Structure formats: C-alpha cells, structure tokens
Amino acid sequence: MSGADAVEQVRRSVHPVTQVLFDMDGLLLDTERIYTEVTQSIVGRYGKVFDWSVKGNMIGRGSKESSRYLVEALELPISAEEYLAERDVLLREAFPRADALPGAEALVRHLAEAGIPIAVATSSDLDLFELKTRRHGAWFDLFDTVVTGDHPKVSHAKPAPDIFLAAAEALGGGADETLVFEDAPSGLEAAMAAGMRVIAVPDPNMDKSRYAGAAEILDSLQTFDPSRYGLPAI
C-alpha cells in the first residue's frame, strides 16, 4: 500500500466531519499585515526590525504572551505593557480596514448554505473582533457562534485547547467530528490538543515544517475540497 493510500484509509476510518471551526486573524481576514505594520512602526523607533524570525514565534498566541516575547527577543527598552498600550491605539484605528482573505467568504457561505454548523474561534477579544469584522458583517453573521479570547470558558490562550473545546461544545458536536482551519502553529497545536483534525493555511513566509500533524497544508482556502471530509462539495 502506498503512503497516499494509507493516509486515505486512515481518513475514511475516522468520524465524518459534522462541524467546522475557523480561526480568524490571518485565515479569514488579512489582519496580520496590519499587526506587522503597526508593530514595525513601534519597534522601528528603537532601530529594530520586526521580521518573520520574530513574528513566526508570535503568530496565533495571546497578546500578553506574544508581547512579552517581542520585548525580550528584540531587547526593547520598554515593557510589554507599554508596547501593548501604544499598539492598541494604532490597531484600533487600522482594524476596520481589514480585507477578507481569498476564498474565506465563499467557503463560509457555502458551509452555511449547506447547513453545516460553523464557528469562529479567535484569540482576539470581543471588542477587537467587532472592529476587525466591521466591513464583513454580512458573512460573519452566518456563523452559528463566535468564541473570542475573553470568553468565560477560555481560561488559557492557544496553544491550550480551551477555545476550540468551547466552540465545539457551543455547536453541539464532539471533538472527533470537528474540523478546524488554522494559520498558526500555536493554533494547530491547540486544535490537535483538543482532539480535532486541522487544516493548516499558513502564511507563505511560514516554515511549513512547523505544521506537522495537520490533515492538510493548503496555500489558500480557495483550494479546500470539502468532499474529502464528507462535507458538501462546492
């Protein structure tokens, strides 16, 4: 049996997918570009460069954890709290301009029209979620539920599984029948820890070797084939 045949046999032996969870930043919305521009504007004043050697270890993590890492990694002469306070002002001005990423709206609409329960599971707090989605309410309203980083059932940020477990529970299905879309290694780790299958859609700059364990690694949501997971074909 070839390796591809073995993978296909395993895929068919697991529970069919009945519900789907989506991360948001860098997967549905192009907010990572905004984070990068704002962060560079801050660290650039200290002669520092915010590149993928640093960003790759921050993406997908909670704001407090990632800001502490940034300050230490770049040896900034400010505290993580000072960085976050300045960043927050700049981000709130920019987030309402966030664009949808290719294939995001079409896939969400397809699953919603097919009656598949879908949810957003984002590390963003609720107020930031509302800013980021301001231009996209028509299709974000199609989600059955949204679980944000400040949800009462999310005690620990990704890579802990809390947010995915809370979202799956809200939709009513079990972990073994839940499919997760993620762009970040920490999100992949969180979803796998929750016992869920994960499709990774990483930024082109990310090292794909960091996505071991993903059911698939896609270049874009546009290339996703729902029928491979027992979902209605597009």
Residue 232 scores a pLDDT above 70? yes
Give the per-residue pLDDT at 220. 97
Beta-bridge partner residues of 149 = none
Give the per-residue pLDDT at 14. 63
pLDDT in tens, 169-180: 999 999 999 999
CB atoms within 10 A of CB 90: 15
Rounded Cα distance between 157 and 149, Å, is: 7
In degrees and rounded to multiples of 5, residue 100 shows phi and psi of: -75, 145
Burial of 16 from C-beta contacts in 10 A (0-12 / 13-18 / 19+)? exposed
Q: What is the pTM of this model?
A: 0.87
Domains of the chain: 3-30+98-228 (3.40.50.1000), 32-97 (1.10.150.240)
Give the per-residue pLDDT at 63. 82
Provide mean pLDDT across the span 140-145: 98
Asked if 68 and 120 touch (Cβ cutoff 8 Å), the reply is no
Q: Is 25 a catalytic residue?
A: yes
Catalytic residue among 5, 23, 144, 219: 23
pLDDT in tens, 68-127: 999 999 999 999 999 999 999 999 999 999 999 999 999 999 999 999 999 999 999 999
Give the per-residue pLDDT at 10. 40
Catalytic residue among 25, 30, 183, 219: 25
Positive or negative, the CA dihedral 103, 202, 226, 120 is negative
More confident site: 212 or 65? 212
Looking at residue 203, the DSSP 8-state letter turns out to be -
Taking each helix axis from N to C terminus, what angle separates 63-73 and 80-94, rounded to the nearest 10 degrees? 120
Encode 64-86: b = buried (16+ Cβ within 10 Å), e = exposed. ebbbbebbeebebeeebeebbee
Rounded Cα distance between 217 and 124, Å, is: 24
Contacts of residue 49, Cβ cutoff 8 Å, sequence gap at least 6:
40, 43
Beta-bridge partner residues of 146 = 120
Rounded Cα distance between 174 and 194, Å, is: 10
